[in-house]
């Protein structure tokens, strides 16, 4: 029989990701928005890109194209919640469709498995 996660475990994992995003925002260096992420992808300083679940496809494709051009592969991750909840996880009162992580600070956000 396959091992299934309990519903509480899934909720705990999501809160753990939210906590890591919040810690990264407070102690590390993050970028919000398509233009600034693409700029830093060109400078090869980006460690991870996080997309909201409802991020527009044109933004995903544009960032994905520049991530492929990078000599060092940049992991791309799709956050399982909306851009409103990604903004709240960052402690911001607005929507965030794309988030770039330059320095993770004290968080363990880079341990997240890349998935687009």
Domain definitions of the chain by residue range:
29-111
Task: Quickly name the fold that domain 29-111 has.
Answer: 60s Ribosomal Protein L30; Chain: A; (3.30.1330)
Q: Which range is least confidently modeled, 53-57, 89-93, 107-111?
A: 107-111
- β-bridge mates for residue 61, sequence order: none
Does residue 6 register a pLDDT over 90? Answer: no
pLDDT for res 45: 84
Q: Are 73 and 114 in contact, with CB atoms under 8 Å apart?
A: no
pLDDT for res 9: 56
Q: Are 82 and 34 in contact, with CB atoms under 8 Å apart?
A: no
- β-bridge mates for residue 78, sequence order: 51
Q: Are 107 and 27 in contact, with CB atoms under 8 Å apart?
A: yes
- Residue 34's CB is within 10 A of a number of other CB atoms, namely 19
| pLDDT, tens digit (0-9, with 9 covering 90-100), for 20-79 | 999 999 999 999 999 999 999 988 888 999 999 999 999 999 999 998 888 888 899 998
The gap from C-alpha 12 to its chain's centroid, in whole angstroms, comes to: 18
Q: Which two tokens stand for residue 100?
A: 């770039």
Does residue 113 register a pLDDT over 90? Answer: no
CA distance 75 to 77: 7
């Amino acid at each position: 029989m396959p091992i299934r996660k309990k519903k509480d475990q899934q909720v705990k994992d999501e809160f753990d990701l939210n906590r890591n995003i919040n810690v990264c925002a407070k102690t590390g260096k993050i970028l919000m928005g398509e233009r600034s992420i693409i700029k830093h992808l060109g400078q090869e300083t980006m460690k991870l890109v996080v997309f909201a679940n409802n991020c527009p496809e044109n933004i995903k494709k544009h960032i994905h194209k520049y991530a492929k051009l990078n000599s060092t592969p940049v992991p791309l991750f799709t956050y399982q919640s909306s851009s409103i909840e990604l903004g709240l996880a960052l402690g911001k009162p607005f929507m965030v469709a794309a988030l770039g992580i330059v320095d993770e600070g004290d968080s363990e956000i880079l341990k997240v498995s890349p998935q687009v």
